[in-house]
Structure 1
Amino acid sequence: MIDEARLGTYLQDHYAGSAAGIELFKRAADQQTDPLVRTVLAGMVEKVEAERSALESYLKAIGSKPDPVKNAGAWMAEKLGRFKPNGELIRRSPLSDVVELEGLRLAVEGKACGWRVLRRLADDDERFSAKELDEHIADAQEQIDELEGLRMEAAVRVFLKQA
């Protein structure tokens, strides 16, 4: 039997994290210096927003709902995370491209962890669709792989001096 109170808290945390993740995806899609990266990230924003809706449906399935305080806190944390020194005072640092892509990858890794927990619970509870969760897990892995490729390309561009 599932402890719905604990699972509700867990899912609320993931839901709040998705608020910060969506904001980071949107900002990175607008500000990355490589136009191809901006395009790829803009496409991922739609996927991440759709996944957030799925997460909300799982919250509802166990009789819970998003916590507005946690959501506001996660949103604020993402905004505050923008104020970090990256070696530039007036303009965007090229290092920001690498750091943002790392942050996005970590966010997607966290999301995948949540999907895998729900997938395991789907074996014991019909409120969770194993097929849907398998799709979310596969989508997350595709996003991780794509973000890792973009991150490494940005790292090479930023850290290797061209002759």
Structure 2
Amino acid sequence: MIDQARLGTYLQDHYAGSSAGIELFRRAADQQTDAVVRTALTAMAEKVEHERTVLAKYLAFVDAKPDPVKNAGAWVAEKLGRFKPNGELVRRSPLSDVLELEMLRIAVEGKGAGWRVLRALADEEPLFDVAELDALIADSEQQIKDLEDLRMDTARRVFRRPA
């Protein structure tokens, strides 16, 4: 039998993380210097928004709701993450393109870990949709691959000396 209270807390953490992730995806997309990366991140942001609604559904399954305090904390943490030394004083550093892609990849890896936990519990919980969770896991694995490709292409561009 699943401990619904404990799982609810876990899902609240992932919900808050997805809220921060959406903010980071949107900001990174808006500020990317490469149009291909900007388009890819915009599409991923839309997927993460959909996934947050799926998380809300699973929260409801365990009689929990998004925690406004955790959501606010995640929102603040994402905003504070913007203030980092990046070698530039008055404009966006190209390093930010690389670092944001790294942060997004890490976030998506965490998201995928959450889907895998729910998938493991799906054998005990008939409300958990196995096919949906398998698709979410596959999506997160593809997003990790896509983010890694974008990150490495961006790093090659950013760390090359001008000719």
Any gaps of 5 or more consecutive residues in structure 2? none
- Within a 5 Å distance, the mapping from 1:63-142 to structure 2 comes to 63-142=63-142
| Alpha-carbon distance between aligned partners in 1 of 2:114 and 2:35, rounded to the nearest angstrom | 31
Root-mean-square deviation (Å): 0.7
Q: How many pairs align? A: 163
SS in 2 for 1:127: coil
SS in 1 for 2:26: helix
Deviation, structure 1 residue 159? 1.2
The 4+ residue runs of structure 1 with deviation greater than 4 A are: none
| Alpha-carbon distance between aligned partners in 2 of 1:99 and 1:125, rounded to the nearest angstrom | 38
| Alpha-carbon distance between aligned partners in 2 of 1:44 and 1:16, rounded to the nearest angstrom | 17
| Alpha-carbon distance between aligned partners in 2 of 1:63 and 1:149, rounded to the nearest angstrom | 39
Structure 2 counterpart of 1:47: 47
Structure 2 counterpart of 1:2: 2
Normalised to the residue count of structure 2, the TM-score between the two structures is 0.98
Aligned-residue identity in percent: 71
| Alpha-carbon distance between aligned partners in 2 of 1:20 and 1:109, rounded to the nearest angstrom | 14
Deviation, structure 1 residue 158? 1.0
Any gaps of 5 or more consecutive residues in structure 1? none
| Alpha-carbon distance between aligned partners in 2 of 1:28 and 1:71, rounded to the nearest angstrom | 20
The letter of the residue matching 1:133 is L
Deviation, structure 1 residue 161? 2.1
Deviation, structure 1 residue 160? 2.4
| Alpha-carbon distance between aligned partners in 2 of 1:98 and 1:159, rounded to the nearest angstrom | 10
Normalised to the residue count of structure 1, the TM-score between the two structures is 0.98
